[in-house]
Chain A
Amino acid sequence: MAEPGIPIEIARDEFARSRPVVSRGLVLNLWRQWQAIAPDAWLFDDPTQNLALLLHARAHGAPVPQPGDRSTQGRLLRDMEHLYEPVAPAPLIWGPRANLCSATSPAIESPILDVWIYRDGALPSGVLIIGDALPEIRAQVLPAAFLASLGMGTLDTDMVNNGAIRVELPLSGRPALKIPVNLLGAHPGFLPADVPDNARDAIQQLVRELRDLATATGLIRLHETEADTPARLHQAILDRASRAAAHPVLWASVASEPSADMAALVPYVEIPDGSALQMRFSGTLLDAPAYQKLERIYRRATIERIKTDVTLRRDRNTQEAERLDRDHEAYKNTPKESRVAIWGPTVLLDVRYDPRLDREIHVEPKEEDAEKYYLHAVPGLANNHRKTAELMGRILDSIVAADERPDAPVRRLAAARLLDAAVRGGNVTDSPSLTAAFDTWAAQVRPMLWLEWRKTLTDAGIQSADVFTHNTIVHIGQSDGEWGRDLLMVPHSVMHPRGTAALVDRRRRVTVYLDTARTARALDQPNDPAQAEDAWRRVVELATVPGTIEADVDLAVNDALLADPAKAVRRVLDTLTDAGADSDSAATPARSSPEGRGAFDAALEKAIEATSRLRAMRRAGVALSRWAPQTVRASVAAVGTENPWLGVRAALLEAALEYLHEGGDPRSPAELAAGIGPGGTERVMAALHRAREQNSEYTEQWLAQLKAVDLGAAVSRLQLGVPPLERLLTDDEARAAWMSRVGAETARLARLIEEAADTLAEDGEPIPVALAKLGAALEESFLDEFAGANRHAAHDLMAILTGTERSFGQGTRPPNRDDGE
């Protein structure tokens, strides 16, 4: 290996002999020596070697001249540009017509995903996903595939590239990491059935998730085939390659009926020896500073996100276990005679914690005896959280171990995707910073990759158009090389016997895969309006023909869509929207009458009136937990004194607020109980006076506990026994109106939070800027009239953004959990 100090002649010979497997050290050493000796002279006699050195040096980040510069090197780069032109055809942007035309054929550039589930009997053994996908779908599928691969321990062999994802069961039964699948924020509507115990479960989970996404969005097509499909197709190609000695063979099984709906990625096979076409590069290609930066950003979006999530779950469960332990102890330490007053006679269980999935499930509320709950159920719940925290700790250790394996599987998976995109001339558009880093690196490395691929193919007598098509993907493996780990680039094609034919001809030297994508061209003609009108007229006429059957409708609508997709689909939807104008039905997009809307409004008004005091009480608690004193005061005033049960609690909450406002210490609130210091101010005393007027016994009991517990815990207990709002609504319509409004507002909040989080700069953000971006949406999550509530994740976010925990305590009623037993 030519390191600094090695004579230039030896280094030069080494470079020429080893190409394309040349190490970074060798390349940069030669480049520097060339620059130092005579940049205007040639280093090699062969100009293509000079060109290669320039492009390899650029691939490693050296400041190589640009083609067209007046320097000698710049002129060489321009004169020989044809040797390093892109190898793959420029990517095409598919629209609705391409999708309608090719709905039966998978294509790497298709925005709609085709998913093949390989089945071994009834169980999935692998998944092949073909298609570029819409960004919104890709953002869900890529992480899900990455997670499945990580869970199965197959990161070193799987492929998570642009346009093609292949995840397969490991050959031996490796144990799976128990990873709850929602770690990467996979499809939000997906409810996993279980945490995978082994690799088979992990892949089954991925399949379920893809199915759910397909059903929900319609933007994924699912297919199933036998587990041995890839092997069968590969073998079929090899058989034909070996038989091609005498005559060229065109294998077109599409002509056989019925041809099976199967697909696989198959390598380009060299003829006649049957080996897979491939090229090696030195692994040091990935040591270029631009790649290192790119890899760091890629890791942030994948493995670091997973680690973060697991860490958050571990910490959350630890805190929750501690909170439950504290509640248990506090209940035990409360004198029996005061327990009912302080803690309430019953608790309402409306959330069930599922330790297997580490998630809370909202359940139909049920009353539970407080004594039974705090003394017997709470220790079990705390234990569940402790166990989950321990499990998350173990998962974290496993992920770290998997990440740090000597064969660096995450690194290989990243390199596979990024190198493939670089060779094919595609983009990586997961996030702005990843896109920027990829563009910078790709601009450096592409010319070298294209030069070496062109040379390899030319040397082998292969035309690059036979290998690099719209349906070619480059798989990257690793293998031990002369100077360390090499990168092995192996082009593959999508083989779909219904839509692909394979030409095996000795003169072509490699299998040629023929499909319609080879004839794809950008659409350059507008739709023919007359044809579109004609096609739609035929659809409309069907309604006048008695006894029209579904097949006629399908044919006519499909024709109309093909003639002008945008216009036809608009017409279909507009027709259906108009259809509802006179409807009174629930199952259609009908427009209900204004009277109907009025009925909703009237029912909601009834609900608002019935729940106003209770909502004010809840809002006061939430506002106090995030220190919004004026909101607390206004809410307490809204609770009023008509309902003494609520009135006493609201007045005590106000006393706590004014005590804190005067600088009282929440950790030792004895001064509040004693009425001295901040606890003796006029406003505190006035609030306590009001509380005593409402219920003096409760007030004294509540004040008495302040000797034992902090103010936060005491304030939390003011919300114990407060019923859910729905309880107050006996009228079904009012209840439905209320709950549907809550649902709509909660859905809106979800969107606000997501949109706000999307504005955070990936590379970092000053703390106040992050708070300014998220703060308004978070405030709504606490205080929205309908959907505001205390939520763990919202408090966690505020704690990070403001550097402070909740003002104190749990605010409103903490979620009481059923242990699921």
Chain B
Amino acid sequence: MRGEIYVLSLLRVSELADNVVTEHLRDSVNSNAVAELTDPERQHLAGARYEYLADKITEAFQPPPPPRFTEANFLDLLQPIVQRELARVLGCPPEDALASLLDPIPIMRDLDSIQPSTLPPTLDADVEPLLYALLTGPANGHAVTRIRQRYQFGENDWGTYLRTRRWLLDSAIDLLHQEATRRGWGRVEPSRALAGLIAHAGQPTAERLGPSEGHFDALAIVVLRRLAAQLAGDLREEAEASISSAIAKAPTMTGLIKLRGWIDLYERNSLARGLLKLCGGTVPLRRVIAHAERSVKQVYATYEKPIRNENLTVGNVNEFPRREGLLRREQWYVTFDVQCLLGDDDEPVTILTITRLPRRDFPQVRGAIERLHGTDLSAVGDTVGDRLLNTGVSAGNDLQSLLRGYIERHCALVAQTIVLAGIQQPLTADDVPWQRSLRDHLRYIPRNPDQDVVFQKDLAEIIDEVREHYRDTGRDLVIDSEPP
């Protein structure tokens, strides 16, 4: 029943949640929201209700961000209703609200820069007359407008100006930040918090979270984050253990290995590890010879008669042509046996016969098989031939095999290039089990692939340049190439 723990927990600690639930709970027969929601007689309604209410509460706790501070807001600051709101936030009487918000020195300085001598330079200037001075001016516009024109920014970009020119007092900035947090606006510019206060001044809805609702300070947030990190770490270990057990139980369910690679790549940020699992390495012989026909012999390795740890051999090689296709072109194929030694036997035994392998593929396949030792064979499979077919080999001269080999050798470089080139979705697949539950893009912050650096000279060229410089200035330069 999604939402029950969430809704009931929030009802316990939040007046806002209580208001939201009360507002949206229809056909209630109980005295309060908790009683209604937990009433055993109302169980049939519970599932849909909790889902709906959880969404509504989430919405209520994510209010839209406050507006930007605009030129028009300077006039608003003189409104008594705004000053009362500011006074509450800044912890001062309404008549001191402006003095607690704005620093007169930089304002005076900026006023002076556009209309010198309008005000005497003094350290104890009152803010309110300054604000009036900002909003008045000669025919060519208010002082605020002229300041904006002088510094060439837009009417809605006052926020940055207030911050960089330090019009807002540091103490006010801190309190505006706190208010923004309290209202659920998060870490917004102080000027936006100010604009938000102005916009909601006098509105009862502005009081979203009552003062009784308590507050976590910065250290409490550290504790919460540490516990969350611990929980996430525990969950990741559990996930890894579960998937490992699954693979151990059913090694032939091929998608499970991909699942593990997918989780490495997209959930654990283990880019190189994931790439190797999904793209790198060897491929089972079964795939290399997918276009050939094969016959697996009923040869088993046992405890008493294990596979000898010697090279596998290829024998009984026969080449033959066939005419194929509309034009009856001649194609050449190879048939051969793969043999190995078992126990103390002197004679090798044939474990697999491959027929109709295109002749062009034969050298790579033969090389790959003959490089294998008995202990290299996969544990998956009943007969020795099956195990050979499941064994990874690095054969194949096709593009995919070559690139797979490249990834195996230079996985780190590929991983680096992926991230630095801003590629968010290096691999896609529609066959990884349960992938709909998982991320399908990397957890690295996207980068702009066009932003890059070139080195105009290498070290040898730099050395040559230095040498030339000294030669041109007529000074001897000793080149010392002794190792350290």
Contact = CB atoms under 8 A, between A and B. Distances in A.
Interface in A616-646: 623, 626-631, 633-634
B390 to A, nearest CB: 8
B83 to A, nearest CB: 24
Contacts of A748: 267, 437-438
A744 B238 CA distance: 10
B178 A764 contact: yes
A260 to B, nearest CB: 7
B415 A218 contact: yes
B403 A253 contact: no
B221 A566 contact: no
B231 A514 contact: no
Interface in A152-191: 182, 185, 188-189
A188 B223 contact: no
A312 B226 contact: yes
Contacts of A739: 242-243, 245-246, 249
Contacts of A436: 187
Given A569-B418, A744-B263, A798-B9, A579 B400 contact: yes
Contacts of B403: 539, 553, 557, 572, 575-576
Interface in A188-220: 188-189, 214-219
Interface in B27-78: 37-38, 40, 43, 46-47, 50, 54, 57-58, 61-62
Contact of B38 (A300, A360, A661, A801): A661
Nearest 7 CB-CB pairs, A to B? A218-B272, A95-B452, A218-B415, A743-B242, A768-B14, A736-B250, A218-B412
B349 interface: no
Interface string A575-590: 1111100111111111
Interface stretch (A4-12, A116-124, A471-479, A497-505): A497-505
Nearest to A182: B233
A804 B12 contact: yes
Given A308-B222, A764-B178, A769-B184, A92 B453 contact: yes
B228 A797 contact: yes
A253 B222 contact: no
B423 A774 contact: no
Contacts of A573: 279, 418, 426-427
Interface in A58-117: 63, 65-66, 68-71, 74, 92-103, 111-112
A213 to B, nearest CB: 9
Interface string A209-240: 00000111111010000000100110010001
A749 B254 CA distance: 24
B305 interface: no
Contacts of B12: 802-804
Interface string B198-225: 0000000000010001111111111111
Contacts of B213: 766-768
A540 interface: yes
A514 B465 CA distance: 11
Contacts of B257: 586-587
Given A70-B113, A542-B402, A757-B228, A217 B254 contact: no
15 contacts: A65-B109, A66-B165, A247-B477, A300-B218, A519-B457, A520-B454, A573-B426, A587-B283, A589-B429, A590-B431, A736-B247, A740-B253, A742-B242, A770-B224, A793-B231
Given A217-B415, A218-B271, A587-B283, A96 B421 contact: yes
B231 to A, nearest CB: 4
Contacts of A68: 113
A766 B182 contact: yes
Nearest to A433: B187
A41 interface: no
A737 B249 CA distance: 10
A71 B233 contact: no
B15 to A, nearest CB: 8
A240 B242 CA distance: 61
Given A69-B113, A754-B232, A661 B239 contact: no
B478 A768 contact: no
Interface residues of B, number: 183
B458 interface: yes
A747 B237 CA distance: 9
B222 A521 contact: no
B5 A782 contact: yes
A586 B470 contact: no
Contact of B453 (A94, A309, A753, A798): A94
B406 A553 contact: yes
Contacts of A394: none
B443 to A, nearest CB: 7
Interface string A488-502: 000000000101110
Interface in B321-351: none
A750 interface: yes
Interface in A550-599: 550, 553-554, 557, 561, 565-566, 568-570, 572-573, 575-579, 582-593, 596-597, 599
Contacts of B109: 65-66, 69-71, 74
A775 B246 contact: no
B216 A750 contact: no
B231 A797 contact: yes
A572 B407 CA distance: 9
A516 B235 contact: no
Interface in A259-303: 259-260, 262, 289, 297, 300
A735 interface: yes
Contact of B249 (A519, A735, A796): A735
B392 A776 contact: no
Given A745-B434, A768-B14, A774-B228, A516 B457 contact: yes
B334 to A, nearest CB: 15
B189 to A, nearest CB: 10
A736 B256 contact: yes
Contacts of A742: 239, 242
Interface in B429-474: 429-431, 433-435, 437-439, 443-445, 447-460, 462-463, 466-467, 470
Contacts of B186: 761
A469 to B, nearest CB: 12
A16 interface: no
B371 interface: no
B26 interface: no
Interface stretch (B284-292, B295-303, B311-319): B284-292
A771 B13 contact: yes
Chain A CB within 10 Å, residue with most, of B61, B247, B445: B61
Interface in A297-331: 297, 300, 304-305, 308-309, 312
Contacts of A520: 453-456
A136 interface: yes
B273 A252 contact: no
Most B Cβ at <10 Å: residue of A256, A289, A586, A760: A586
B8 interface: yes
A49 interface: no
Given A432-B187, A553-B403, A740-B433, 9 more contacts: A99-B420, A362-B237, A588-B279, A591-B431, A597-B255, A747-B437, A765-B215, A773-B61, A782-B5
A268 B407 CA distance: 41
Residue in A71, A94, A232, A519 whose Cβ sees the most chain B Cβ within 10 Å:
A519
A658 B40 contact: yes
A783 interface: yes
A707 interface: no
A676 interface: no
Contacts of B460: 254
Given A572-B414, A584-B254, A591-B431, A550 B405 contact: yes
Contacts of B437: 744-745, 747-748
A575 B400 contact: yes
B386 to A, nearest CB: 13
Nearest to B400: A579
B10 A600 contact: no
B215 A764 contact: yes
A255 interface: yes
